[in-house]
Copies of this chain bind each other. A is one copy, B any other.
Amino acid sequence: MSEHGATRATTAQDVADLAGVSISAVSRAFTPGASVSKQTRSRVMEAAEKLGYTPNLVARSLATQRSGIVGLVMGDIRNPYYPEVIDALSRRLASSGFRTMLTTVWGDVTVDDVGPSLVQSKVDGVIIASIAEADRLGDTLFKAGAAVVLFNRSTLASESLSSVRCENVEGGRSVANFLLDRGLTRLAYIAGVEHIYTTQEREAGFVGRITERGHQLHARETGDYTYQGGFDAAQRLASLDVPPDSVFCANDITAIGAIDGFRALGLRVPDDISVVGFDDIELASWPPYRLTTVRQDKTALIENTVGMLVQQIRSGERTRQIKLVPVAIVERNSVVSNRVAG
């Protein structure tokens, strides 16, 4: 049988021979994130193209028992916070040699619809963010053997899941201090999607600190974590007999909707009403909004999430780890600088 005869499939060794490199260099050239020089990779690719060789990851994953795929489960990615996170996470995973499989869960799609598919895919690990019942889906995948890290989700309802999230409670507390220190006294909260932990934790910190300082929450509305939800909630707050003088919103997109909602009624931000958000998305810095908000350290969140996940995948260990990333208030122009307490 000739060395490159048509009667058998081309192997990695054939490619190595033609390219004049080792078989391990061929393997590395085809492995995302693996260390290989540009020159070697291009010689391997040229030889592979000439011989019609494409390594089959599916077959390889059966041999290694690994798929090289990390599932990323997201909710409503139309919140601009998440595209920034998806992009950064998928790049960071690629640099560790993993490809990202995106699954979205929101609206009429539930965790019951996506769970079986993710289990079937034999993903090596899963990052779950911004969805309801993240812990239930996480537990299912954990039991099926996947490494699981919840991104910016609490794990109150689970005993085994790891989590990387920001200091939501502390963020809420610092907003309460920030507003009360400026003489504002009628503080309101616009919640996100009610059953999601982030909004609950931010509210707990906010209301807890208001109470500690001898005040009480003046009003509360729900904004559903969307622009329109914030817009509508602001209009309801403004129509109260005694409207609030300041509003903390569960995330930035809600706060931006709230600002436009107040303005549509002729109210000025911050002169008539102060608004604070949470996240520090790019939009928050745009001139029409100049939103004062709680900044999440996205780089730290992503580094910790991928680091924790990859360590669990490589070691096979599933020890629970929890990492809380600090937050900080970014001052812009949506809160009055000072006001005599009224």
A binding-site residues for B, Cβ under 8 Å: 29-30, 32, 45, 54-59, 61-62, 67, 69, 72, 76-78, 80, 82-84, 86-87, 90-91, 94, 99-104, 109, 113-114, 116-117, 119-122, 144, 227, 260, 263-264, 282, 286-288
Contact = CB atoms under 8 A, between A and B. Distances in A.
B288 A260 contact: yes
A83 B82 contact: yes
Given A78-B87, A78-B282, A91-B104, A55 B120 contact: yes
A91 B107 CA distance: 11
- Nearest 5 pairs between A and B by C-beta? A288-B288, A102-B102, A57-B120, A32-B117, A77-B83
Contacts of A102: 72, 86, 90, 100-102
20 contacts: A29-B116, A30-B116, A32-B114, A32-B116, A54-B144, A56-B122, A58-B67, A62-B62, A77-B86, A77-B87, A78-B84, A80-B80, A90-B102, A94-B109, A94-B113, A99-B101, A99-B121, A227-B286, A260-B288, A264-B287
Contact of A87 (B55, B69, B104): B104
Given A58-B121, A99-B101, 20 more contacts: A29-B116, A30-B116, A32-B113, A45-B116, A54-B119, A54-B120, A58-B58, A58-B61, A58-B122, A77-B86, A77-B87, A80-B80, A91-B109, A94-B113, A94-B117, A99-B103, A100-B103, A101-B101, A260-B286, A288-B288
A94 B56 CA distance: 24
A103 B90 contact: yes
Nearest to A261: B287
A77 B79 CA distance: 12
